[in-house]
Amino acid sequence: MEKKGPNKTDDPQPEIGRLVVVSNRLPMTLTKERSGWESSRSTGGLATAMDPLLERNGGIWIGWSGESSAKGDPKRQQVLDEWREKENCIAVDLPPEIVKGYYEGFSNATLWFLFHSFPGLFDFTTNNWRDYVRANEIFRDAVVKELQPGDLVWIHDYQLMLLPQMIREAVPDARIGFFLHIPFPSSDVFRVLPRRDEVLKGLLGADYISFHTHRYLQNFRSSLLRVNGIRSSMDRISLGSRQIRLEAQPIGIAPLGFRDILEQEKTKEIISEFRGKYTGVKLLVGVDRMDITKGLPERLRAFRRFLVKHRRMQGKVTLIQVAVPSRGNVPRYKDLQQEVDELVGQINGRFSTPTWSPIVYMRRSLSQEELAALYAVADAALVTPLRDGQNLVAKEYVACKLDGDGVLILSEFAGAAAEMGEAIQINPYDEDRTADAIVRALNMPIDEKRDRMAALYKRVLRNDVFTWGARFVRNTADAAASRKKADAGRPQRLPKAQIAAAYEEASKRLILLDYDGTLVGYSQRAQDAIPPPELKTLLFGVAADPRNTVVIVSGRAKSDLERWFAKIPNLWLAAEHGAVMLRPAEKEWTSSHPNVPDNWKKEVFEVLEHFADRTPGSYVEEKEFSLVWHYRMSDPEFGEWLANELNSTLDELLADTQLRAIQGRKNVEVKLIWANKADVLAQMTHDEPDFDFMLAAGDDTTDEDLFEKMGPDTWTVHVGSQNTVARYRLRDHNEMLELLATLSGTPIPAKAKTVKATG
Ligand code: ADQ
């Protein structure tokens, strides 16, 4: 990535183009009052980040109005039209019959719980999933309708995880970024999700995917590998020649906005009112949505434990807990509300005195002034979610502690913990130690408090929400630009009419065909990928043409190729990447490098076997000129990890030898440098230099050696979608068979087409 100076984020960025923000909800709220329809624009949350970007780039915001019941009411429509005109907000109308399944169902009863690592709480129904798909399609249609060339689409959060791919299919060239506001769970938990592969595929339509933390990013990568078998590196996924950029970039807040609020007279009044009321009492503050993930009962129990364990603190500490009602019509949330109400009542009933209550409990939303004042006076903040994507309250508290006199007690399971190391971090499930952490916070020397707070404040200031937003759009634009560049360099689809004409005209043709992945699909076990009889018929037909020299050039051992193909007249076989050849009508294999010593094998075998012992499902194959460690049947993540380790071990071991380690499709092969497919081409053209049609087809890295050596007027065909130097590409082995059938005039036998099992 291009390095940019720290001040560059505020520069005008013409290449960003118009921004199209897409989120489940618009920043507008529609309510039906007696007097008619009312609407208001929210200022906090996501709008804080999006508004300046939208202003600068002249963009639009697409989302659900949150209200679907009165569609068709002309007065309501009038409000929505005004949103479009004056606010650049475009309302998506979701039919009421799918809202429940999409929003309350798959989004909030399935994804929300599972992604917050509560597999025991999630519900799944096929109907909810169907509604989720449908709602994403409705969003897609709304976006596609508005999309203009050069737009940059920013999709937010778990309700819209299918949308990136849906838009990609409708508008292949679209520039798309996706940000996940909630955690991405470990792959073990993610795997529990029914329709998990569709969800991942949905995300892969984006150019850029960003998460709050590296942990979530890692979890996503490992899920991709385990669920869809897709490998990735720390910062990107290569999907054939298309690359998707990945990053961990935590959302911030607008700290200076809080500073301004603290300066306002109204806020100052509230602060002095609080101070007057709570003179001599230490204040703890908790501010949350009433959500299961926020750990409210656990926090209250820890506070109760604190009062019991540290009796001297009774009468001297008050917890002000603000909890905005959320998802109140969901039974589990009703239960939570009841549990919290009961705990507050029980604790206050047990410990209160005529002049003091341990908990002040507010079940409502606070104004920005009240909120800032509360943060400012609180001696410590209790931010103790059981799991949280990031948690903005932690950062807001820090932003309001300008004098440094406060302590943040933070759950290690909040995403914010990754960058707020100076907080006192606790495990919210550990009541006893959380209680001790409260004591520690309240007794912390002022110098230590200031040091910790200063470090936290600096980071909150630097990584504010504007920097976050600007960086997101810039990274999406960069990622999309790289995609376009890569697209321009991609091999074109094989022009079938053109190759057929060239074939027809030629009188002496050389056809070099890889086997696995090119003529048949991959199987879990290599020995199962046997050629179907129909494929043999096809090869028989192509090889029978006296103008053709057809060679199967494979990494396979001699025995496999001989068993399968030796009876096909006129077919040449090159095994072990061309180290040995069997000419038509001959019985003996010959090598271009006879009498090569194989004393290297013992040492390398021991290394490979050591890896096989450590990796269930993997094994070592011995061929005449090479040794291969296969791990297709192993745990994919562990397999990839060990393959990398093996490669680096071998790189060192083989540095000064004639051997090289090659990473193949789910295998690592150690072979002699000269044993490569380009050597076959050299042998074939040495004796017969006058071919007037040359075709080479293959699907993996070992075929690239051959493609590189083929001349400019030849046909090099990559089968699949990896990076390649081939000039042309075909989708899969089925298309390859169709090509051979067309060229040779042999009708394609239906059963020759096989399904690609894995890899
Ligand atoms: P939320 O789960 O909503 O967001 P959080 O990050 O804590 O969680 O944000 C809550 C916001 O609501 C804060 O700005 C807070 O000030 C405000 N708020 C809460 N209670 C309030 C009250 N009673 N009165 C007024 N304001 C109140 C999701 C993810 C988070 C992630 C954010 C942003 O679940 O993990 O941090 O998105 O990506």
pLDDT above 80 (res 683): yes
What number does the ligand 1 atom closest to the CA of 46 have?
Answer: 33
Nearest CA-CA partner of 130 in 165, 95, 91, 181:
95
Q: Is 302 helix (H, G, I), strand (E, B) or coil?
A: helix
CB of 371 shorter than 6 A to ligand 1: yes
pLDDT surpassing 80 at residue 4: no
Is 389 near ligand 1, meaning CB less than 6 Å away?
Answer: yes
Measured over the CA atoms of residue 195, residue 199, residue 204 and residue 210, the dihedral's sign is negative
Q: How many residues are given for the chain?
A: 759
Confidence of residue 752 (pLDDT cuts 50, 70, 90): low
Three-class DSSP category at 666: coil
CA of 208 from ligand 1 middle (Å) equals 25
Helix 392-399 vs helix 446-462: angle between axes, to the nearest 10 degrees?
Answer: 120
Give the type of residue at 335: D
Which of 48, 212, 289 maximizes ligand 1 atoms within 8 Å of its Cβ, making it the mutation to test the pocket? Answer: 289
Give pLDDT, residue 14.
39
Q: Does position 663 have pLDDT exceeding 60, yes or no?
A: yes
Whether 340 shows a pLDDT value over 70: the answer reads: yes
d(CA 512, CA 695): 6
- How far is residue 505 CA from its own chain's centroid? 49
Q: What is the mean pLDDT of residues 646-657?
A: 82
**What tens digit of pLDDT does each residue of 469-494 get?**
999 999 999 999 988 887 777 788 99
The mean-pLDDT minimum among 37-41, 692-696, 715-719 falls in 37-41
Rounded distance from Cα 392 to ligand 1 centre (Å)? 6
Query: Whose alpha carbon is nearest atom 22 of ligand 1?
Result: 365
pTM comes to: 0.80
Say if residues 294 and 288 touch (Cβ distance below 8 Å): yes
CA of 289 to the centre of ligand 1 (A): 7
**Start-to-end CA span in the chain (Å):** 29
Q: Atom 33 (ligand 1): residue with closest C-alpha?
A: 181
What is the model's pLDDT at position 756? 43
Residue listed under structure tokens 């940019």: 4
pLDDT over threshold 70, residue 120: yes
Q: Ligand 1 mean position to 288 CA, how many Å?
A: 7
The helix/strand/coil state of 269 is: helix
Work out the pLDDT band at 65, boundaries 50, 70, 90. confident
464-480: buried (b, 16+ CB within 10 Å) or exposed (e) per residue?
A: bbbbbbbbbbbbbbbbb
* 388 CB near ligand 1 (under 6 Å): yes
Tell me if 58 sits within 8 A of 51, measured CB to CB: no
Question: Best substitution site from 287, 291, 410 to test ligand 1's pocket, by max atoms within 8 Å of Cβ?
Answer: 287
Ligand 1 center from residue 467 Cα (angstroms): 19
Residue 7 has pLDDT above 50, yes or no: no
Least confident of 269-278, 504-513, 589-598, 678-687: 589-598
Task: Decide: 416 in ligand 1 pocket, CB within 6 A.
Answer: no
Q: Is the CB of 182 under 6 A from ligand 1?
A: yes
When mean pLDDT is compared across 650-654, 689-693, 696-700, 730-734, the lowest value belongs to 650-654
- CB-based contact 652:478 (threshold 8 Å): no
Which residue owns the Cα nearest ligand 1 atom 8? 391
User: CB within 8 A of 656, min separation 6: which ones?
Assistant: none
d(CA 381, CA 378): 7
The rounded distance, in Å, linking the Cα atoms of 317 and 284 is 7
Active site residue 514: yes
Reading across the β-sheet that carries 548-553, which strands appear in turn? 492-493, 728-730, 715-719, 693-698, 509-513, 548-553, 571-575, 580-582, 590-591
Among 360-364, 428-432, 523-527, 729-733, the minimum mean pLDDT is found in 523-527
Average pLDDT over residues 495-509: 95
Q: What distance in Å separates the CA atoms of residue 622 and residue 15, rounded to the nearest whole number?
A: 54
pLDDT of 755: 46
Q: Pick the catalytic residue from 207, 388, 514, 703.
A: 514
**What pLDDT band is residue 9 in, cutting at 50, 70 and 90?**
very low
CB 414 near ligand 1, within 6 Å:
no
* pLDDT value of residue 347: 98
Question: Ligand 1 test: best mutation among 392, 396, 472, most atoms within 8 Å of CB?
Answer: 392
Name the residue type at position 261: I
Say yes or no: CB of residue 289 within 6 Å of ligand 1. Answer: yes
User: Residue 198's pLDDT band (boundaries 50, 70, 90)?
Assistant: very high
Residue 74 above 90 pLDDT? no
Centre of ligand 1 from the C-alpha of residue 393, in Å? 6
CA 712 vs CA 144, 388, 492, 499, 717: distances in Å: 41, 57, 15, 14, 13
Percent of the chain, pLDDT > 90? Answer: 71
The mean pLDDT of 333-345, rounded to a whole number, is 95
Residue 290 near ligand 1, beta carbon < 6 Å: no
